[in-house]
Amino acid sequence: MKKDLFRTDIARAGNIRIDREASGIKGFAGVTKGVTKDARGEFDDLSINSIVELGNKAAVGIKSRFGHPNMSSTALGTFLGRVRDFRRDGDIVRADLHIDKTAFETPDGDLAGYVMNLAESDP
């Protein structure tokens, strides 16, 4: 009997920086060039460049949530803040998460603190 094992790539944090004073995460990796983990699609140079261009067109930034709504859960209380300053770093799209003050006091607790702690402990 064949066992299916879950395998991930090596995590490379790059030049990520957690700025607790400004409530943000600078330089997180949003998209990496290549086939997606579930093999449903692929990001090529055109898509990487388009993400950077379109991400920077949003004057207030792109909304960021802790999770996605689905049939069993809502997105209420999962707003983290806005993503801005999209840039290409080789084959990676990097950006900065500007955490909104409301993310510190959500119905599920301090999501902002949790996300910053997680980014520090396991970038």
Nearest to 80 by CA among 50, 114, 34: 114
Q: Give tens-digit pLDDT for 56-108.
A: 999 999 999 988 777 666 777 789 999 999 999 999 999 999 999 999 999 88
Q: Which helix H or strand E contains 98, and what residues bound it?
A: strand 92-99
Beta-carbon contacts of 60 under 8 Å, excluding residues fewer than 6 positions away, are 82
Amino acid at the residue 74: T
Q: Which helix H or strand E contains 99, and what residues bound it?
A: strand 92-99
CB atoms within 10 A of CB 76: 11
Please tell me the pTM assigned to this model: 0.80
